Amino acid sequence: MAKTKPSVAFIGTGIMGAPIAGHILDAGYPLTVYNRTRAKAEGLIGRGAVWADTPAAAVADADVVFTMLGYPTDVEEVYLAGDGVLAAAKEGAVLIDLTTSSPELARDIAEAAEVTGKHAFDCPVTGGEQGAVNGTLTLIVGATEHDIEPVRGLLETFGSTIRCFGGPGKGQAAKLANQVALSASMVGMADALSLAQQCGLDLEQTREMICSGTGRSGAMESLAPAALEGDFKPGFKVEHFLKDLGLALALAEEKEIALPGADTAFTLYDMLEAIGGGALGTQAITLLYQEEADAVAAGLDWSLYRGADAEEDGCGCGHDHGDDGHDHAHDHGGDGHECCGGHGHHHGHGASGE
């Protein structure tokens, strides 16, 4: 008799979650989905996924639960609320968080899960929207090879490379290291294109030359083409990158080390978000180097940037922190926005941040 496949719940069907859940569905797993905005799950429902009205209803009968949410605050809410995933999942269920989130929160969730007879691990991903669509993501796992054995087949439906880092939170820490590497290459990409432009070089030719030699990077290979075409839609949102860099810089502070590359990138992306670019793709960093008209055409507004005024007020970050839905007081991100070269680095957003 054929063995029935484990039932799967998937919460968070956005840019990354929807195609990942699609691969799980295509591989024949019974799938229940929930997302804050139902419209983003309709494509999956049309292909046979079952809709649930709440996270609790989604996970009640699931053997395996995936979450792919925006921010640590979303993860906290979905897992740890009284009617959240931890309380509602059945005993023995495996809970896998794909969100890029806080290592500390991942450890908290894993511990709480064990207490209630469930198993949870962090599994952030890299490879971008294209990797999710193609099912070729790299999975960065906060568990051992042994731990993931029961769900390996399921993970392989959307991941072509699986790296296990050994224990809860370590997947998130490794993913943050990846984001630190990415941040410096994004700044390098934008710096190089700006210099080439000012020298009157052919930008596509310059980009191709760089990609053929030691200056190449994922940023130059995959994101510069969109920037050069004036395509700034996400992909990977600026506000999510800021969240990641905030988490990485908070971790660096905890370890008492400096990350000057990531710090520079944080400052630039903070500026981009302050002028209205939070929902654009990360390639929009190139707009900071362009004439104001290009920024306006992309929907940005430099009058929102209050760097100079704010500096006089004792805050040099140029970011209006009061009204943009960010949760700068999130437990898992650090201890306060300091500004002036010392960003608080805990850019955890509230659920209203998008």
Mark out the alpha helices in 16-169 (DSSP H runs).
Answer: 17-26, 42-46, 55-59, 72-80, 85-88, 103-115, 128-134, 145-148, 152-155
Binding region for ligand NAP (CB under 6 A) out of 56-64, 146-154, 234-242, 336-344:
234-242
Asked whether position 99 contacts ligand NAP by CB under 6 A, the answer is yes
In the complex with ligand NAP, the residue whose CB is nearer, 36 or 216, is 36
Asked whether position 180 contacts ligand NAP by CB under 6 A, the answer is no
**In whole angstroms, what is the distance from residue 100 CA to residue 252 CA?**
17
Task: Report the nearest approach of ligand NAP to the CB of residue 205 (Å).
Answer: 27
Q: Report residue 309 CA to chain centroid gap.
A: 31
Task: Report the nearest approach of ligand NAP to the CB of residue 189 (Å).
Answer: 16
Residues 108-137 contacting ligand NAP, CB under 6 A = 125-126, 128-129
Residues 40-79 contacting ligand NAP, CB under 6 A = 40, 68-70, 74, 77-78
Which of 8, 9, 10, 12 is close enough to bind ligand NAP by CB under 6 A? 12
Token representation of residue 349:
């957003």
Ranges of beta strands (E only) in 123-229 are: 125-126, 137-141, 159-164
Distance (Å) of CA 85 to CA 6, 14, 82, 95: 17, 19, 9, 8
Token representation of residue 251:
């971790």
Asked whether position 36 contacts ligand NAP by CB under 6 A, the answer is yes
Strand partners, 72: none
Which of 59, 64, 88, 100 is close enough to bind ligand NAP by CB under 6 A? 100
Asked whether position 32 contacts ligand NAP by CB under 6 A, the answer is no
**In whole angstroms, what is the distance from residue 157 CA to residue 80 CA?**
28
Task: Report the nearest approach of ligand NAP to the CB of residue 300 (Å).
Answer: 20
- Cis amide bond preceding 350, omega within 30: no
Residue number with the smallest Cβ distance to ligand NAP: 14
Which residues have a catalytic role annotated? 175
- Binding residues for ligand NAP, per CB under 6 A? 11-17, 35-37, 40, 68-70, 74, 77-78, 99-100, 125-126, 128-129, 235-237, 240, 244, 351, 354
